Structure 1
Amino acid sequence: MNDRSWTTRPITRRRLLIAGGASAGLVALSGCSWLDTDPAGDAGPSEAPGTDLREAPQLAARVEAGELPPLSERLPANPAVIEPVDRPGVYGGTWTSALLGPEDEAWLQRTVGYDPLMRWNPEWTEPVPNIAESVEQSDDGHEFLITLRAGMKWSDGAPFTADDLVFAFQDFLLTKELSPAVPSFLTNGGQPATLTRVDDQSVRFTFAEPNGLFLEQLALINSGDVLVSLPAHYLQQFHAAYTEGADATAASAGFASWTELMLARSETYQNAEKPTLNAWMLTNALGDATTVTAERNPYYWKTDPDGRQLPYLDSLSFEVVSDAEVILLKATNGEFAFHTRHVTSLANKPVLAEGREEGGYEFMTLQSSLMNEMVIFLNLTHQDPVKRAVFTNKDFRIGLSHAIDRDELNTATFQDEGEPWQAAPAPDSRYYDEELATQYLEFDVDLANEALDRAGLTQRDGSGFRLAPDGSPLTIEVEVAEPGVVPYWLDAMNLVVGYWNEVGINARTRPEDRTLFKERTEANQHDAGVWVGPGGLGDETRRPFFYLPTMRFEQAFAPAWAQWYQTNGAQGEEPPEPTRRQCELFWELARTPDPDQREELFGQILEIARDEFYVIGTLRVPTGYGIVRDDFHNVPEEMPESFDFATPGGSSPCQYFIE
Structure 2
Amino acid sequence: MITRRTTLALLASVFAPWKAFAAYSDSDFFKEKREKGELPPVDQRLPKNPRVMNMKNLGREPGKHGGSVRMLIGGQRDIRLMPINSYARLVGYDESFNFQPDILESYTVDEERVFTLKLRDGHKWSDGSDFTTEDFRYFWEEVALNREIHKGGPPIELLVYEKPPKVEVIDRLTVRYSWEGPNPDFLAKLAGASPARLCLPAAYMKQFHAKYQTPENLAKLMKKNKVEDWSNLHVKMSRQVRPENPDLPTLDAWRNITSPPSEQFIFERNPYYHRVDENGLQLPYLDRFLLNVTSSEIIAAKTASGDSDLQFMGLDFNDYTFLRDAEDRYPIKVNLWKRSQGSRVCLLPNLNCGDDVWRNLFRDVRMRRALSLAIDRHEINMVCFYGLAKESADTVLPESTLFRPEFAKAWADFNPALANALLDELGLTNRNDKGVRLLPDGRPAHIIVETAGESTLETDVLELVTDHWRKIGISLSSRPTQRDVFRKRAMGGEVLMSVWFGMDNAVPTPDMLPAGLAPTGDDQLQWPVWGVHYLSGGREGKEPDLPEAAQLLALLKKWRLSITEEERRHIWLDMLTLYSQQVFSIGIVNSALQPIVHVTKMRNVPEKALYGFEPTSYLGVYMPDAFWYDGDA
TM-score of the superposed pair, with normalisation by structure 1: 0.87
1:516–1:120 CA distance, 2 compared to 1 (3 A): same
Instruction: Tell me the CA shift for residue 201 of structure 1.
Output: 0.5
1:479–1:184 CA distance, 2 compared to 1 (3 A): farther
Partner of 2:472: 503
1:175–1:569 CA distance, 2 compared to 1 (3 A): closer
1:66–1:511 CA distance, 2 compared to 1 (3 A): closer
Q: Distance in 1 between matches of 2:528 and 2:309?
A: 43
Instruction: Tell me the CA shift for residue 522 of structure 1.
Output: 2.0
The match for 1:591 among 561, 564, 581 is 561
Instruction: Tell me the CA shift for residue 631 of structure 1.
Output: 0.9
Partner of 1:288: 261
Partner letter of residue 425 of structure 2?
Answer: R
Map 1:168-567 → 2, pairs under 5 A: 168-181=139-152, 182-224=154-196, 226-228=197-199, 230-245=200-215, 246-253=217-224, 254-268=226-240, 269-285=243-259, 287-325=260-298, 327-343=299-315, 345-468=316-439, 470=440, 472-484=442-454, 486-535=455-504, 537-539=506-508, 544=514, 547-553=517-523, 555-563=524-532, 565-566=534-535
Partner of 1:120: 93
Deviates more, 1:642-651 or 1:473-482: 473-482
Q: Distance in 2 between matches of 1:561 and 1:157?
A: 46
Deviates more, 1:380-389 or 1:637-646: 380-389
Instruction: Tell me the CA shift for residue 566 of structure 1.
Output: 4.6
Asked if structure 1 preserves the Cα contact closer than 8 Å seen for 2:6 and 2:110, the reply is no
Look up the SS of the partner of 1:638 in the other structure.
coil
Partner of 2:123: 152
Asked if structure 2 preserves the Cα contact closer than 8 Å seen for 1:368 and 1:623, the reply is yes
Instruction: Tell me the CA shift for residue 37 of structure 1.
Output: 4.6
Q: Distance in 2 between matches of 1:376 and 1:520?
A: 16
Does residue 132 in structure 1 map to residue 113 in structure 2? no
Asked if structure 1 preserves the Cα contact closer than 8 Å seen for 2:446 and 2:475, the reply is yes
Asked if structure 2 preserves the Cα contact closer than 8 Å seen for 1:293 and 1:318, the reply is yes
Instruction: Tell me the CA shift for residue 31 of structure 1.
Output: 3.2
Look up the SS of the partner of 2:463 in the other structure.
helix
Partner letter of residue 306 of structure 2?
Answer: G
Asked if structure 1 preserves the Cα contact closer than 8 Å seen for 2:54 and 2:278, the reply is yes
1:493–1:150 CA distance, 2 compared to 1 (3 A): same
Partner of 1:609: 579
Instruction: Tell me the CA shift for residue 634 of structure 1.
Output: 1.6
The match for 2:135 among 153, 159, 164 is 164
Partner letter of residue 149 of structure 1?
Answer: R
Q: Distance in 1 between matches of 2:162 and 2:9?
A: 27
Instruction: Tell me the CA shift for residue 251 of structure 1.
Output: 4.5
Look up the SS of the partner of 2:485 in the other structure.
helix
1:540–1:500 CA distance, 2 compared to 1 (3 A): farther
Task: Encode CA deviations 1:519-546: one digit per residue, 9 max, x unaligned.
Answer: 1222334322221012453347757566
Instruction: Tell me the CA shift for residue 619 of structure 1.
Output: 1.5
Partner letter of residue 163 of structure 1?
Answer: E
The match for 1:96 among 70, 91, 107 is 70
Aligned-residue RMSD, C-alpha: 2.7
Task: Encode CA deviations 1:2-32: one digit per residue, 9 max, x unaligned.
Answer: xxxxxxxxxxxx94354xxxxxxxx845537
Task: Encode CA deviations 1:412-457: one digit per residue, 9 max, x unaligned.
Answer: 4334333221112112221212122113333333232222112221
Asked if structure 1 preserves the Cα contact closer than 8 Å seen for 2:17 and 2:53, the reply is no
Asked if structure 2 preserves the Cα contact closer than 8 Å seen for 1:364 and 1:637, the reply is yes
Instruction: Tell me the CA shift for residue 613 of structure 1.
Output: 2.7
Asked if structure 2 preserves the Cα contact closer than 8 Å seen for 1:361 and 1:630, the reply is yes
Asked if structure 2 preserves the Cα contact closer than 8 Å seen for 1:368 and 1:622, the reply is yes
1:510–1:295 CA distance, 2 compared to 1 (3 A): closer
Identity %: 26
1:385–1:222 CA distance, 2 compared to 1 (3 A): same
Instruction: Tell me the CA shift for residue 569 of structure 1.
Output: 7.1
Q: Distance in 2 between matches of 1:97 and 1:256?
A: 35
Asked if structure 2 preserves the Cα contact closer than 8 Å seen for 1:372 and 1:536, the reply is no
Asked if structure 2 preserves the Cα contact closer than 8 Å seen for 1:339 and 1:627, the reply is yes
Deviates more, 1:535-544 or 1:197-206: 535-544
Q: Distance in 2 between matches of 1:105 and 1:463?
A: 50
Asked if structure 2 preserves the Cα contact closer than 8 Å seen for 1:534 and 1:544, the reply is no
Task: Encode CA deviations 1:125-177: one digit per residue, 9 max, x unaligned.
Answer: 222211111111121x2221111111111112111100011112222233233
Deviates more, 1:381-390 or 1:519-528: 381-390
The match for 1:633 among 603, 606, 631 is 603
Asked if structure 1 preserves the Cα contact closer than 8 Å seen for 2:449 and 2:476, the reply is no
**Which consecutive unaligned segments of at least 5 residues does structure 1 have?**
1-13, 19-26, 46-52
Larger helix percent: 2
Look up the SS of the partner of 2:37 in the other structure.
coil
Asked if structure 1 preserves the Cα contact closer than 8 Å seen for 2:394 and 2:580, the reply is no
Partner letter of residue 168 of structure 1?
Answer: F
Asked if structure 2 preserves the Cα contact closer than 8 Å seen for 1:424 and 1:433, the reply is no
Partner of 2:629: 658
Instruction: Tell me the CA shift for residue 118 of structure 1.
Output: 1.2
Instruction: Tell me the CA shift for residue 74 of structure 1.
Output: 1.4
Deviates more, 1:209-218 or 1:583-592: 583-592
1:563–1:280 CA distance, 2 compared to 1 (3 A): closer
**Which consecutive unaligned segments of at least 5 residues does structure 2 have?**
none
Does residue 73 in structure 1 map to residue 44 in structure 2? yes
Q: Distance in 2 between matches of 1:490 and 1:456?
A: 31
Instruction: Tell me the CA shift for residue 500 of structure 1.
Output: 1.6
Look up the SS of the partner of 2:333 in the other structure.
strand
Task: Encode CA deviations 1:35-59: one digit per residue, 9 max, x unaligned.
Answer: x7552336x79xxxxxxx7222343
Asked if structure 1 preserves the Cα contact closer than 8 Å seen for 2:9 and 2:100, the reply is no
The match for 2:60 among 70, 79, 86 is 86
Look up the SS of the partner of 2:456 in the other structure.
coil
Partner of 1:105: 79
Asked if structure 2 preserves the Cα contact closer than 8 Å seen for 1:367 and 1:623, the reply is yes
Instruction: Tell me the CA shift for residue 103 of structure 1.
Output: 2.0
Asked if structure 2 preserves the Cα contact closer than 8 Å seen for 1:278 and 1:297, the reply is yes
Q: Distance in 1 between matches of 2:164 and 2:361?
A: 41
Partner letter of residue 350 of structure 1?
Answer: T
Asked if structure 2 preserves the Cα contact closer than 8 Å seen for 1:534 and 1:540, the reply is no
Asked if structure 2 preserves the Cα contact closer than 8 Å seen for 1:548 and 1:583, the reply is yes
Instruction: Tell me the CA shift for residue 232 of structure 1.
Output: 0.7
Asked if structure 1 preserves the Cα contact closer than 8 Å seen for 2:89 and 2:190, the reply is yes
Look up the SS of the partner of 1:319 in the other structure.
strand
Look up the SS of the partner of 2:328 in the other structure.
helix
Partner letter of residue 92 of structure 1?
Answer: G
Q: How many residues align?
A: 617
1:499–1:329 CA distance, 2 compared to 1 (3 A): closer
Q: Distance in 2 between matches of 1:483 and 1:349?
A: 20
1:519–1:206 CA distance, 2 compared to 1 (3 A): same
Deviates more, 1:538-547 or 1:385-394: 538-547
1:521–1:199 CA distance, 2 compared to 1 (3 A): same
1:248–1:657 CA distance, 2 compared to 1 (3 A): same
Q: Distance in 2 between matches of 1:545 and 1:349?
A: 33
Partner letter of residue 242 of structure 1?
Answer: Y
Task: Encode CA deviations 1:520-578: one digit per residue, 9 max, x unaligned.
Answer: 2223343222210124533477575663333333x332345445555677862344444
